[in-house]
Amino acid sequence: MAGSAITIHLTYPPLPENVFEATLTFTQIPGVPPGKGPEGWQIPLHFKPGPAAGRVIDAIPLNLSSPEHQGITLVLESLAQTPGMDALRVRLEMNDPDLGMEVNWESGFRLEKTNGSQVLLEASSIFDPDGSASALLKVPLLEPGEHYILKLQGPIQVVKSSSADEKNSHFTLDPSAGPQSGQTWVLDETDEKNSRFTLDLGANPQVGQSWVLDQTLVAGGKVIHLSGAHLLSGDRCSASSRPDSNLTSLVFDIDPQPGVTGLMIGPLHPTPMVDRIYQGKCVVYKGTPNGSIEFKIFNVTYPVDGTWEIPWQVPGG
C-alpha cells in the first residue's frame, strides 16, 4: 500500500487451451474489513492467443526443502521453462498457523552457482487462496544438469496474528467528570484473555484531546506497552496524510518489545464508522469517534534473521 492506493498481484495456473473468456471474482478487497468497501467483485477478462514461442512449458516438480530455521522451512516447488527464461516457484512453510509474511518478504532471495557466482533474478510474491507465502523467481535460462544453491537471506519480516488464548491486559477509561480538551486520565489494569482493550472516549471528545495510558499487553507473543492515545484531524495514518475535515485519526502511542517493527490495531465493531485501518498504530474514522470502543491488537510484525538454503540440480543434461 502506498498512500491511498493498494496494489495487489494475483497469480493463477494457466487456463486450459482454447479458453479466452474468464471472470475474476472476489468477495472483498484484500486488507479492507468486511462492510467497509464494495464487495462481490466480478470482473470479466478477455484473452487473445499469444505467440507460440512465448508459451510456458509444463513445470517440472522439484519439491526440495531447506532445513527448518526458527519454525520456517523454504520449499522449492517447481521449475517452469520457456524459450526466453526460467521460473522457480517457491513457498515458505510455517509451523505456526498464526504466522505470515509481511509485504516484500521475497526480496531476500539469491540464486548462486556452486562457484559462488550469483544469478540475476526477479522475485514477485504470489497470491495463494490458502494464504500461504509463495513467490515466483524469474531467472535467465538455466543449464540442464547445472548445480545451484537457492538462498533466502534474512532478516525477513513476519506477521504474527494474536491468538485467542493469549493473556493480555484489558483497560477501560472512565472520564467521570466529563471529557475536556487537554484532559488526561490514568488507567487501572485487569487481566483478560486475547489482545482486546476498551477505550471510553466520552460523549464529546475533541480534536487535540489525549489520554495517558500505562497498560502492558501481549499480542502475537510480543509485549506491547500502550503509553497514550490522542485524537487528530484528517488522516494521519497514511504517508499521504489526507487533510480531510470529515476524517479524524485516533493514534496510539506504543512502546513495543525490542525487535517489534509494526503492529495493527483496530476496533472490533463497525460503529462508530471506520474509514480505514492501517498496518500501524492508527485508526481513521469518518467524523469523530465517541463513547466506549473495544479494540484489538490484530497482529505484530517483527524480523526473523537467518539463512535458508536448498542445494539443487537443474533436471536434464
Instruction: Give all domains of the chain, ordered by start, each with its CATH number.
Output: 52-161+304-313 (2.60.40.1640), 167-303 (no CATH)
Residue 238 has pLDDT above 50, yes or no: yes
Residue 69 confidence (pLDDT): 93
Which of 68-77, 108-117, 181-190, 205-214 bottoms out in mean pLDDT, i.e. has the lowest?
181-190
pLDDT in tens, 103-126: 788 999 999 998 889 999 999 888
pLDDT tens per residue, range 34-93: 777 788 888 998 888 766 555 556 689 999 999 999 999 999 999 998 778 899 999 999
The pLDDT value recorded for residue 179 is 46
What is the average pLDDT score of the chain? 81
187, pLDDT greater than 50: no
**What does the pLDDT average to over 14-43?**
80
**Residue 215: CA count within 13 A, CB half-sphere:** 30
Mean pLDDT of 298-313: 93
- Beta-bridge mates of residue 60: 79
At residue 170, the pLDDT reads 41
pLDDT confidence band for 150 (50 / 70 / 90): very high
